[in-house]
Amino acid sequence: MKRKLLSMILATAMVATMLVGCSSSGSSETASTPADTGTEAEAPAEAEAEAEAPADTQASGGGKVGVAMPTKDLQRWNQDGSNMEAELIAAGYEVDLQYASNDIATQVSQIENMINSGCELLVIASIDGDSLGTVLEQAKEKNIPVIAYDRLIMNSDAVTYYATFDNYMVGTKQGEYIKEQLDLDNAEGPFNMEVFTGDPGDNNARFFYGGAIDVLQPYIDSGKIVIKSGQLDFETVATANWATETAQSRMDAIISANYADGTKLDAVLCSNDSTALGATNSLEANYTGEWPIITGQDCDKPNVKNMIDGKQSMSIFKDTRTLASKVVEMVDAIMKGGEAPVNDTETYDNGTGVIPSYLCEPVFADASNYKELLIDSGYYTEADIQ
Ligand code: BGC
């Protein structure tokens, strides 16, 4: 890798050409994945279908890239990891891909190993955005650039770039959906709503929550939306590790205290699919009233099934192939001594300053368009969601 001074990369990135949206074509062209991850990762159908293609046809880079993912428990991270690995290998890089079972100490030691075993660039989807400062000092000392993947790494000046989907937009899409479905500007109401967001250590959770609540707050203030549980502030509605079981038991308690007498629950604002699944499981077991609107994010397979069955109203599709492709583009540019493409230099301050970011656009998904988005695009097969 031809290294440039980190400061130069940062300075030039700030004035880099502003790009709009994400390339949606990159992944299918470059996903000529050679190797299986050697894990139970479920790669999107398209990547699987191309698994036989030779890897060297598009090789351009060289050097070793460390890719640290939070957990294999959630489908999306398996896809993020395997897509990125496949594309990086196809671009000529060696890849050290690790999953950390949602355990912070494991992730720290994996990153340490990557730094000590010759990785020249790190791509990290953090478990806890605040826990990597110390280990990343070592990366900075060795001039190893760091791309924060999907989740921003906080309070570390070792972070060179951030690549994610527009997290605030995810939240506004969820909030707007509830607003439209309940016809909040015209209907009389009041409507009962409950709220579930994600892990408090995940910076994204605050953006998802903030985007949705910014849309809905006026209706909460006017009394058109009622939160019967009284649980609305971020810390109270946060879900540690985004765990389905945690969301489910919190919903159990909310139903038994507020909706057991047949009181109608009109909407459940869930920041993602794992929390939506918990809320849905609980409602199925405990709630007898008319089924509420339930939001989500990720288009995880069980949630797509629930959308088809009418148990979840919508999700947000964040095509992991798109993000993976964009990150591979960023890696390639940095490894060749250039600047990575960015399209946002204002939004994501990690406590040490704004991190130049590339934000991909999240897409609304529901039972009416899932076929086009997920099946026709090769993300899933029909069998995946039956
Ligand atoms: C991601 C979401 C995901 C959540 C739980 C967030 O940081 O942006 O897509 O649902 O983590 O893994």
Instruction: Determine the average pLDDT of the residues in 126-133.
Output: 96
- Reported as a pLDDT band with limits 50, 70 and 90, residue 263 is very high
Distance 324 CA to ligand 1 centre (A): 15
Atom of ligand 1 nearest to the CA of 204: 7
- Mean pLDDT (whole number) for 11-28: 35
| Interval between CA 129 and ligand 1 midpoint (Å) | 12
Residue 270: helix, strand or coil by DSSP? strand
Residue 90, pLDDT > 60, answer: yes
Q: Are the C-beta atoms of 334 and 16 separated by less than 8 Å?
A: no
Residues 126 and 107: beta-carbon distance below 8 Å: yes
Ligand 1 centroid to residue 368 C-alpha, Å: 23
Q: Report which protein residue has its CA nearest ligand 1's atom 6.
A: 204
- pLDDT surpassing 80 at residue 212: yes
Q: How far is the CA of 156 from the centre of ligand 1 (A)?
A: 21
Determine if ligand 1 sits within 6 Å of the CB of residue 74.
yes
Average pLDDT, the chain: 88
Helix axes 104-116, 133-141, angle to 10 degrees: 10
Is the pLDDT reported for residue 35 higher than 80?
A: no
Distance 60 CA to ligand 1 centre (A): 31
Q: For residue 150, which atom of ligand 1 is closest to its CA?
A: 8
Residue 359, ligand 1, Cβ within 6 A: no
Residue 150 CB less than 6 A away from ligand 1: yes
CA of residue 262 to ligand 1 center, whole Å: 33
Ligand 1 pocket residue status of 72, Cβ below 6 Å: no
Pocket test for ligand 1, best of 78, 272, 299, 360 (most atoms within 8 A of CB): 272
Q: Is the pLDDT of residue 44 over 80?
A: no
Pull the structure tokens for residue 236: 């109270």
- For the segment 146-183, what is each residue's pLDDT rounded down to a tens digit? 999 999 999 999 999 999 999 999 999 999 999 999 99
- pLDDT the model gives residue 49: 34
Query: pLDDT band at 285, cuts 50/70/90?
Result: very high
Kindly give, in sequence order, each residue whose CB lies less than 8 Å from that of residue 211, ignoring residues fewer than 6 positions away: 167, 168, 169, 170, 171, 172, 173, 174, 175
pLDDT on residue 61: 67
Asked if residue 196 has its Cβ within 6 Å of ligand 1, the reply is no
Residue 33 or 7, more confident: 7
Condensed to tens digits (0 to 9), the pLDDT of residues 341-376 reads: 999 999 999 999 999 999 999 999 999 999 999 999
- Specify the 3-state DSSP secondary structure of 40: coil
pLDDT of residue 374: 97
- Comparing 6 with 159, the larger pLDDT belongs to 159
| Residues 361, 21 contacting (CB under 8 angstroms) | yes
Q: What is the C-alpha separation between 8 and 163, in angstroms, rounded? A: 19
Do 110 and 98 meet the contact criterion of CB atoms below 8 Å apart? yes
Counting DSSP H helices and E strands in the chain, the numbers are 14, 12
Query: In angstroms, rounded to a whole number, what is the distance separating the alpha carbons of residues 239 and 216?
Result: 20
Half-sphere exposure of 58 (CA within 13 A, CB side): 20
Instruction: Tell me: pLDDT of 193 over 80.
Output: yes
**Residue 60: predicted pLDDT:** 59
Q: What is the pLDDT of residue 287?
A: 97
Is the pLDDT score of 41 beyond 60? Answer: no
Task: Report the candidate in 234, 218, 245, 230 with the shortest Cα–Cα distance to residue 192.
Answer: 230
Q: For 83, how many CA atoms within 13 A lie in the half-sphere containing its CB?
A: 25
206 CB within 6 A, ligand 1: no
* Average pLDDT of the residues in 193-201: 98
Query: In this prediction, what percent of the chain has a pLDDT beyond 70?
Result: 84
Least confidently predicted of 206-210, 258-262, 307-311: 258-262
Which residue's alpha carbon is at the smallest distance from atom 3 of ligand 1? 272
- pLDDT reading at 58 higher than 60: no
pLDDT, position 75: 87
Lowest pLDDT segment from 19-33, 80-94, 207-221, 328-342: 19-33
Ligand 1, pocket-test mutation among 154, 202, 273, most atoms within 8 A of CB: 202
Q: Is the pLDDT at 31 greater than 50, yes or no?
A: no
